[in-house]
A and B are shown apart, each in its own frame.
Chain A
Amino acid sequence: MRAYHQNFRENLRLALDTLRTHKFRSFLTILGVLIGTTTVIAVASIFAGLDRQVSDAAKDFGTNTLAIFKFTPGFHFRLSREERLRKPLTYEDAVAIKEACPSVESVAVENFLWWGPPPLLKYKGKEVVDYDLSGATAEDFRVTNTNLADGRFFTAVDDAHRRNVAVIGPDIVKRLFDHEDAIGKIIMIGSNAFEVIGTAAPRKAFPGDNSINRWVKIPYLTFKKIYPNERENFILAMAYEGRMAEAKEEISNVLRHRRHVKPAEPDSFGISSAEAFIQQFRQIIGTVVLVTVVISSIGLLVGGIGVMNIMLVSVTERTREIGVRKAIGARRRDITWQFLLEAMTLTGAGGVLGILVGAGISLLIRTLSSFPSSVPLWSVAVGFIIAVSIGLFFGLWPAMKASRLDPIVALRYE
């Protein structure tokens, strides 16, 4: 044990010494490993940032809120026949959920424009074209965790009287009302005049979603009055604290019954939550990370071949040295370890540099944009371990070659 330790220190010293002697050559050799590690670290930090954004957005959305629609959320490349024929969810479905699900605290319904752009939004010559318009029940703000910036939310009374009142998202406030107070102002939604009664506080967006703060909500029945043909409803349900799973189960039972889904058939609707969204997101990220690791592995592999090449050169250059070491008592494994450790030190140094450069890139992104990229500890460990393993793997053959040299032949080598 002690002998091993002694040799390890001697070998490490030697390896660092070689690195110092051949600075430039070493640098060129480890460039591939450096770039590979940098990629791993930079990509990991970007995904850590995305993950952070998703978690924040999910928390903002509300961890007890379930979103129910006739399709499951996510990407649909092509709808099946059954999916295309699905009936919309109805207001009555929402009422039934409210009544039959003991784990559900409150339910909201949103009716929205299924096709085409929203009607032009205007205030004093300023216009907004890209925004989300929906008709929502009064519970909507509570269920979706919306915070008020100014004014008030509309109520069940506003809804019942089909009043032309609107609550608008912070981006709409910015676009229409520069330095003006929005409350009490009359805006035009298409040809209908609405009074702004409330403005919402900004909320955190999921990555890639820039419409989260760009919405106008009007009472459900007002919307119905203006757009009587819009039949697609979005139901939002808030579960009692800690009863998400039960709530989901209960809602599913109610909807399956109401939509006549046979026991063997899957749900003809989708129930999603922030938690589910995070999971879905992580699954996608996991795939992307895997792909990145595979791609950067190719770079690392190329780097590894460079390392093998330079180690073979190093063994040849030091043939005499190997002969001398063997003549004074070095065993095969002493020589093997000497060159293995040299290769691992070489690629390990590349790994450390790569980690530093990757962390630098991450820091740069964070300072130059508001994106919360951060280097996760696991990626540092993975990057370093991969780098050292490259040295171990590609250094093995040159090291074995060195250890097998005949001392006499090695000593004679010119």
Chain B
Amino acid sequence: MSSRTLTAPLQQTMTPKDGVIIRTENLWKTYDMGAVQVHALCDVSFDIERGEYVAIMGPSGSGKSTLMNLIGCLDTPTQGKYWLNGRLVSELSDDELAYIRNKEIGFVFQTFNLLSRATALHNVELPLIYSGTPAAERLERAREALRKVELGDRMHHKPNELSGGQRQRVAIARALVNEPSIILADEPTGNLDSATGDEIMNLFDRLHQAGNTIVLVTHEHDIAARAHRIIHIRDGKVARDERVK
């Protein structure tokens, strides 16, 4: 088996300027539902720079998750271009996409998406397993990530032995562990009560202060207000893009 060194093609045309991590250009996502075509995203363009703290906000069904999945390389647009760290994502192979999801992106889901049969530690180790990190280093880094989210004393618990907030913190540790360029969170507090949600948001604030780039999807104002920039989405279109801090 090959090691996971990868030489993704650097795009000569439209190479975004230094510091731009994400550039989307006229992104469309259309679902063909037989009789009707649902445009989940229409002509979405924006840049996100390194170190930004961005909230994507909009009502339910406005296309936030769709956008997030495109940014996270889980999905491909119907039309338009998307660069991540200077690479044109639409031209990458399956393996290259897997590599990017592994190394460049840390995804945090509303429903946590932890492996229920694995311990917190093993869940956090997983991205490192897929990047081929040696066992000793892997263990050390997973422990470190769990300590960062203040779960140093819950490493050997399985998800069903943890509270909702703790589960989301395990998921955040998993997103952090491979030191990705960007952390994507799709309604990370959606399944949590407000107090626990605040804790999680404090954690994101800290991660941002520590230099991480964060893109966060929410439909709640208070949550969006934590970010430094809010991109408002309505019916699949960018309605407003404002800097708040």
Contact = CB atoms under 8 A, between A and B. Distances in A.
Contacts of A21: 117
A9 to B, nearest CB: 8
Q: Which of A7, A329, A334 has the most CB of B within 10 A?
A: A329
Contact of A2 (B99, B130, B134): B134
Contact of B102 (A7, A10, A320, A329): A329
Interface string A377-414: 00000000000000000000000000000011001000
Contacts of A7: 1, 129-130, 132
Contacts, number: 78
Interface in A1-32: 1-4, 6-7, 10, 17, 21
Contacts of B2: 3
B220 interface: no
B129 A10 contact: yes
Nearest to A320: B113
Interface in A317-331: 320-321, 323-331
Given A6-B132, A6-B135, A328 B102 contact: yes
Contacts of A325: 126, 130
A329 B132 contact: no
Interface in B27-56: none
A6 B133 CA distance: 8
A330 B130 CA distance: 6
B74 A407 contact: yes
B95 interface: yes
Secondary structure of the A side of the interface?
helix
A324 B74 contact: no
B95 A329 contact: no
A408 B133 CA distance: 26
A366 interface: no
B117 A331 contact: no
Nearest to B72: A327
A332 B174 CA distance: 20
B101 A327 contact: yes
Contacts of A332: 94-95, 98
Given A1-B1, A3-B3, A6-B134, A328 B174 contact: yes
Nearest to A1: B1
Contacts of B131: 3, 329
Interface in A327-363: 327-334
A330 B98 contact: yes
B150 interface: no
B204 interface: no
B107 interface: yes
Interface string B91-104: 00011001101110
Contacts of B130: 7, 325, 328-331, 334
A23 to B, nearest CB: 14
Interface residues of A, number: 26
Interface string A300-328: 00000000000000000000110111111
Given A3-B3, A334-B130, A408-B74, A326 B115 contact: no
Given A2-B134, A320-B113, A328 B101 contact: yes
Nearest to A21: B117
Nearest to B3: A3
B72 A3 contact: no
A329 B95 CA distance: 9
Contacts of A2: 3, 132, 134
A329 B98 contact: yes
A2 B114 CA distance: 26
Interface in A186-217: none
A7 B133 CA distance: 10
Given A324-B115, A329-B101, A408 B75 contact: yes
Interface string B127-153: 101111111000000000000000000
B4 interface: yes
B113 A4 contact: no
A327 B106 CA distance: 9
Given A21-B117, A324-B113, A324-B115, A331 B134 contact: no
A321 B115 CA distance: 6
A25 to B, nearest CB: 15
Contact of B1 (A3, A17, A407): A3
B191 interface: no
Given A3-B132, A320-B113, A408-B75, A328 B127 contact: yes
Contacts of B133: 6
Nearest to A2: B132
A408 B115 CA distance: 17
Contacts of A320: 113
A2 B113 CA distance: 28
B196 interface: no
B102 A408 contact: no
A323 B134 CA distance: 24
B69 interface: yes
Contact of B98 (A6, A331, A408, A411): A331
A4 B130 CA distance: 9
A376 B159 CA distance: 48
Given A2-B134, A7-B129, A328 B107 contact: yes
Contacts of A326: 74, 98, 101
10 contacts: A1-B3, A3-B3, A3-B4, A6-B129, A326-B74, A327-B74, A327-B101, A327-B107, A329-B103, A411-B74
Given A3-B132, A326-B98, A329-B98, 10 more contacts: A3-B1, A7-B1, A17-B117, A326-B74, A328-B174, A330-B130, A331-B95, A333-B1, A334-B130, A408-B75
**Closest 5 pairs (CB-CB, A-B):** A329-B102, A3-B132, A4-B1, A329-B130, A331-B98
